[in-house]
Structure 1
Amino acid sequence: MDHITTPFGRRTLSLGMVATQIGARATEGKVAHKWKTFRAIAEAKEALGVSDRSLVVLNALLTCLPETAMTARELVVFPSNRALALRAHGMAETTLRRHLGALVQAGLIVRRDSPNGKRYALRGGEGVEEAYGFDLSPVLARAEEFERLAAEAAAERRASTLARGRVTIYRRDIAKMIEAGSAAGADWRSYREAFAALCYRLPRRVTSTSVAPLLADLHSLAGELRKALEGLLETQILDGNDSQSGAHFESSNPDTIIDPEPSFEQEGPGKVVRDLPLALVRQACPDIVMYDRGGVVTWRELISTAGLVRGMLGVSASAWEDAKDAMGPENAAAVVAGILQRAEAIKSPGGYLRGLTEKSRAGQFSPWPMMLALLRQASPISKSRCGT
């Protein structure tokens, strides 16, 4: 059809519809595999501005074409709303009409409305002479464009996955470099604070562009830490002997530990210690939640996040393992979350944790009083950060 067709009834003609109809004419001599083209459209759905539900309707329309190979002939399909709804897995007709409109707006189909708005075909001796319904010519005409957009979408997904992985690696490396410097006796509180500011949760939809500033900041901080570690080596603060440096760090004097509040003290041997609810830990220690992009919704996530945070606090790997062995992984993670919450008041987090570990072995410590004390101290602002 050479002229511009307009929609039936109150629907108006837009310039976008005109552009789609003009573009749909470029089908002469073209052939496309309808399902390969549909997969390309699905891959590029964000660039095309169509939803999953709209794609269900497009899939239903394509099933009305008798051949798999799309050519310029007979690309107008004319199913009733009821038949099309069934092909769209039982979609409600009101929903169906909405998504048909979305496909028109996206330039994927063209309405070829009859004089009375009904969908049908006029047949002659050589087959269909005129058909009124939905013209799928844009799918054929734009097949190469869809393939290009699909390739770009796949490349962006790969770049986003790579960027997310780089963020994870940078965070891991920075945490362990800070731990190494702290083990050598360096006061790297400024580095810890800078790192904490870069540990906010990533958005649900990460793109290579959106995460680029964070990657640049992490790269810069990692470079500073590398130079700082080289400086420690040059000044022989760290002598390169892992066993000696480890022993130096691990010899924290328990007598110098900030003593727990009175409410933290003895539960006594033989007393039953109730399981600690994760929700209580999250409410009492909201700062730990910021270090996990998922928001610490399971004990496994809390244990993993505590393992990261303990390095930032200057707690050695052996102190962390001892705490998990003595208290259990869940309680040890809760204690690290509590130490993080009171980081400004605790001079030696590693020694503090070792002291609590020894008390736990003697049956003189439970994280319950610690959590309850922190909960009492929490301000309304802190509670809101936990979503409570």
Structure 2
Amino acid sequence: MQLASSGGRRLRHAALVARELALETGRTVTRKELSAAARDAAKALELRNGPRSVLSELVACWGEQEWERLLVWPSNDYLVSRTGLSERGIRKAFRVLIDQQLIVPKESPNGKRYAVKDLAGEIVDAFGFDLTPVYARRGEWAERLIEQKQAREARKRTFDEITIARRATQEALGSLSREYPDLDRSDLEDRLRGLLARTPLRSTKAMPIDILDEWKSLRSACEETYYKAGYAGTQCRHTNNNNKSPSEPCNKGFPKKAEAVRSTEQTPEHLSPELILEACPTLSDYGQPVRDLADIVSAGRYLRASLGAHESAWAEAVEDIGTVRAAIAVIYTLQLYEDDVARNGGESRIKNPGGYFRALTRMVKVGKIDLAVELLAMRRRRMS
């Protein structure tokens, strides 16, 4: 059988737990301090509008008395007029706040809320609600808010990785359809449609860790299919006009060599693959050794999809600044984005890496940016 208190309110276990919470000896609490603790509590517990509004009005009634308990005694009619809720909504909000151990009811003999005065007319006690738990648990609210922020950042990073994998997958399938239209890719396209249907929206609170693993697996499968199609199932790329010696080593491109480096395209001597590797460790995502400028070009063309940049952006960059500098611009932009994400706790100021890449190539074209200088500066920052 559930017992009832003297005022007629049903006794709740949460109220007994919250009653044990107390302020530090001699501690006085201002309305501003109590209000800040109440806001943190509402955020940490994700209170709905009704309980949040009632809690805010209860805090506003605190008269900053130098008592051991933080007692307030507003009537239901007052709270109805202040919050716009119905009386039934006010009672429901009280139940939520009591169950969350935010307030403790202090019942009077007749169930009313009122202040108790001495013979001089000074308020010495009151019957109503005790807000002491809200302030006494302020350390708990701070910890919960930090945990919630970390969870939001981890969730954002997960969705960012899903977006990158999705774009790369769609780019690989698009390249397959354009370059190898006779290749059967129905299984990969079915997997893509299934994943698109099952991937939750960013607006939900789901943590799509399993979905991320599936996206990475599908991306790997699509890129591997494109890679093998480009090499005709052999270790060497298939060509119809190979007039060179059969003992010549196989082509090192991955997935296949990008546009050839123009013989007239010269780069500064200090703009070497070694410098690019030291300044941009993101090249490790390429998955193949980088020994010369031809490998840099292949890596740039391969990593372009990771920026979400359209193939037309690559074509424009090659036309404007040359194949080598276009590839370096891709690698540099990708490294800037990843450094910004790491530095800002999972968020980047570069909201559209593909658009940033286009803007960067145009600035390089008109001489506003020197890629060699930027890479040297990036390497110095990384080594310092």
TM-score, normalization: structure 1? 0.54
Indicate which of 106, 115, 125 corresponds to 1:121.
Answer: 115
CA distance in structure 2 between the aligned counterparts of 1:31 and 1:192, rounded to whole angstroms: 66
Displacement of 1:120 in angstroms is 0.8
Query: CA-to-partner distance for each residue in 1:236-267, whole Å, 9 max, x for gaps?
Result: 36854679xxxxxxxxxxxxxxxxxxxxxxxx
Q: Hey, what does 2:316 align to over in structure 1?
A: none
1:216 and 2:213 are equivalent in the alignment: yes
For residues 180 and 212 of structure 1, do their structure 2 counterparts lie closer, same or farther at Cα, with a shift above 3 Å needed? Answer: same
1:109 and 2:103 are equivalent in the alignment: yes
CA distance in structure 2 between the aligned counterparts of 1:72 and 1:183, rounded to whole angstroms: 77
Q: Hey, what does 2:283 align to over in structure 1?
A: none
Displacement of 1:206 in angstroms is 3.4
Q: Hey, what does 1:342 align to over in structure 2?
A: none
1:227 and 2:224 are equivalent in the alignment: yes
Q: Hey, what does 2:196 align to over in structure 1?
A: 199
Tell me, yes or no, if the aligned pair for 1:27 and 1:140 is still in contact at 8 Å: no
Tell me, yes or no, if the aligned pair for 1:112 and 1:135 is still in contact at 8 Å: yes
Tell me, yes or no, if the aligned pair for 2:7 and 2:109 is still in contact at 8 Å: no
Q: Hey, what does 2:134 align to over in structure 1?
A: 139
Tell me, yes or no, if the aligned pair for 1:159 and 1:208 is still in contact at 8 Å: no
CA distance in structure 2 between the aligned counterparts of 1:71 and 1:216, rounded to whole angstroms: 57
CA distance in structure 1 between the aligned counterparts of 2:259 and 2:186, rounded to whole angstroms: 22
Tell me, yes or no, if the aligned pair for 1:159 and 1:207 is still in contact at 8 Å: no
Higher relative contact order (CA 8 A, sep 6+): 1
Q: Hey, what does 1:130 align to over in structure 2?
A: 125
CA distance in structure 2 between the aligned counterparts of 1:105 and 1:41, rounded to whole angstroms: 13
Within a 5 Å distance, the mapping from 1:20-169 to structure 2 comes to: 20-22=18-20, 24-28=21-25, 33-46=33-46, 50-67=47-64, 73=68, 75-88=70-83, 90-124=84-118, 125=120, 127-169=122-164
Count, aligned residues: 235
Pick which of 109-118 and 31-40 moved more: 31-40
Q: Hey, what does 2:10 align to over in structure 1?
A: 12
User: What secondary structure sits across from 1:118 in the alignment?
Assistant: coil
Tell me, yes or no, if the aligned pair for 2:102 and 2:133 is still in contact at 8 Å: yes
CA distance in structure 2 between the aligned counterparts of 1:81 and 1:167, rounded to whole angstroms: 50
Displacement of 1:220 in angstroms is 1.4
User: What secondary structure sits across from 1:107 in the alignment?
Assistant: coil
Tell me, yes or no, if the aligned pair for 2:69 and 2:132 is still in contact at 8 Å: no
Tell me, yes or no, if the aligned pair for 2:15 and 2:105 is still in contact at 8 Å: no
Tell me, yes or no, if the aligned pair for 2:7 and 2:107 is still in contact at 8 Å: no
Q: Hey, what does 1:248 align to over in structure 2?
A: none
TM-score, normalization: structure 2? 0.54
What amino acid sits opposite 1:114 in the alignment? S
CA distance in structure 1 between the aligned counterparts of 2:44 and 2:81, rounded to whole angstroms: 26
Q: Hey, what does 1:292 align to over in structure 2?
A: none
CA distance in structure 2 between the aligned counterparts of 1:160 and 1:30, rounded to whole angstroms: 39
* Identical amino acids, percent of aligned pairs: 26
Query: CA-to-partner distance for each residue in 1:259-287, whole Å, 9 max, x for gaps?
Result: xxxxxxxxxxxxxxxxxxxxxxxxxxxxx
Tell me, yes or no, if the aligned pair for 1:40 and 1:146 is still in contact at 8 Å: yes
What amino acid sits opposite 1:21 in the alignment? R
**Unaligned runs of at least 5 residues, structure 2:** 239-254, 261-309, 313-384
User: What secondary structure sits across from 1:44 in the alignment?
Assistant: helix
What amino acid sits opposite 1:37 in the alignment? A
Displacement of 1:196 in angstroms is 1.1
What amino acid sits opposite 2:108 in the alignment? S
Pick which of 127-136 and 156-165 moved more: 156-165
For residues 163 and 71 of structure 1, do their structure 2 counterparts lie closer, same or farther at Cα, with a shift above 3 Å needed? Answer: farther
Tell me, yes or no, if the aligned pair for 1:25 and 1:141 is still in contact at 8 Å: yes
For residues 220 and 30 of structure 1, do their structure 2 counterparts lie closer, same or farther at Cα, with a shift above 3 Å needed? Answer: farther
CA distance in structure 2 between the aligned counterparts of 1:38 and 1:148, rounded to whole angstroms: 14
Q: Hey, what does 1:178 align to over in structure 2?
A: 173
Within a 5 Å distance, the mapping from 1:281-300 to structure 2 comes to: none
CA distance in structure 2 between the aligned counterparts of 1:225 and 1:110, rounded to whole angstroms: 60
Tell me, yes or no, if the aligned pair for 2:15 and 2:103 is still in contact at 8 Å: no
CA distance in structure 1 between the aligned counterparts of 2:311 and 2:186, rounded to whole angstroms: 19
Tell me, yes or no, if the aligned pair for 1:122 and 1:131 is still in contact at 8 Å: yes
CA distance in structure 2 between the aligned counterparts of 1:77 and 1:128, rounded to whole angstroms: 12
CA distance in structure 1 between the aligned counterparts of 2:256 and 2:154, rounded to whole angstroms: 40
For residues 35 and 11 of structure 1, do their structure 2 counterparts lie closer, same or farther at Cα, with a shift above 3 Å needed? Answer: closer
Tell me, yes or no, if the aligned pair for 2:73 and 2:115 is still in contact at 8 Å: yes
